[in-house]
């Protein structure tokens, strides 16, 4: 009972069709691959029911945040609203990182759609989780060799 990125995309996009208020084209396959990578604890490339349930809870939480900031119901939030959304989700970043998020996830008008919003949050969650896993003594410093770095970033 595991699902792949293709199957996850199908499930999530069918659910999104019922949420007309999100005004989204749905999730791209790459977004779903990122979601699988975030939740795939055994490295199978698929997620089981418990992993899916955990992902589902995160998606519902993040969707609520997105809707809160999409006050004009355009299906996008601007880069300033994104900063507040990131804070509301519990991620503490600096100005430089917010600028990087905008460069990476915003369109030419500095707006972020739902798919990009979720991709950003999946990435942030994965990065924080990976760092914490390597920060054994909790001092905020990790040491990785090149193979560990490549392995960590390739599947993220």
CATH classification of the domain holding 74: 1.10.238.10
The structural domain count of the chain equals: 1
Q: Would you state the pLDDT for residue 102?
A: 93
The tokens describing 29, both together, are 């396959």
pLDDT in tens, the chain (156 residues): 899 999 999 999 999 988 877 788 899 999 999 999 999 988 899 999 999 999 999 999 999 999 999 998 899 999 999 999 999 999 999 999 999 999 999 999 999 999 999 999 999 999 998 889 889 999 999 999 999 888 877 776
To the nearest 10°, report the CA torsion of 71, 101, 128, 30. 90
pLDDT at 65: 97
pTM of the model: 0.89
- Expressed as residue numbers, the domain containing 107 is 2-154
For the residues of the chain, what is the DSSP string, one character each?
-EE-HHHHHHHHHHHHHT-GGG------HHHHHHHHHHH-TTSSSSEEHHHHHHHHHHHHHHHHHHHHH-TT-SSEEEHHHHHHHHHHTT----HHHHHHHHHHH--TTSEEEHHHHHHHHHHHHHHHHHHHHH-TTSSS-----HHHHHHHHH--
What pLDDT is stored for residue 25 in this prediction? 86
């Amino acid at each position: 009972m595991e699902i792949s990125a293709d199957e996850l995309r199908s499930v999530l996009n069918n659910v999104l069709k019922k949420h007309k208020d999100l005004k989204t084209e749905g999730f791209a396959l790459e977004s779903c691959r990122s979601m699988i990578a975030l939740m795939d604890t055994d490295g199978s490339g698929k997620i089981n029911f418990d992993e899916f349930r955990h992902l589902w809870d995160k998606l519902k939480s993040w969707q609520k945040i997105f809707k809160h900031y999409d006050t004009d119901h355009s299906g996008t939030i601007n880069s300033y609203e994104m900063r507040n959304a990131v804070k509301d989700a519990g991620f503490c970043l600096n100005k430089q990182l917010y600028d990087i998020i905008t460069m990476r996830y915003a369109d030419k008008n500095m707006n972020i759609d739902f798919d990009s919003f979720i991709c950003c949050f999946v990435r942030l969650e994965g990065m924080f989780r990976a760092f914490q896993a390597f920060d054994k003594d909790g001092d905020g410093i990790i040491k990785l060799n090149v193979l560990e770095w490549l392995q960590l970033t390739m599947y993220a």
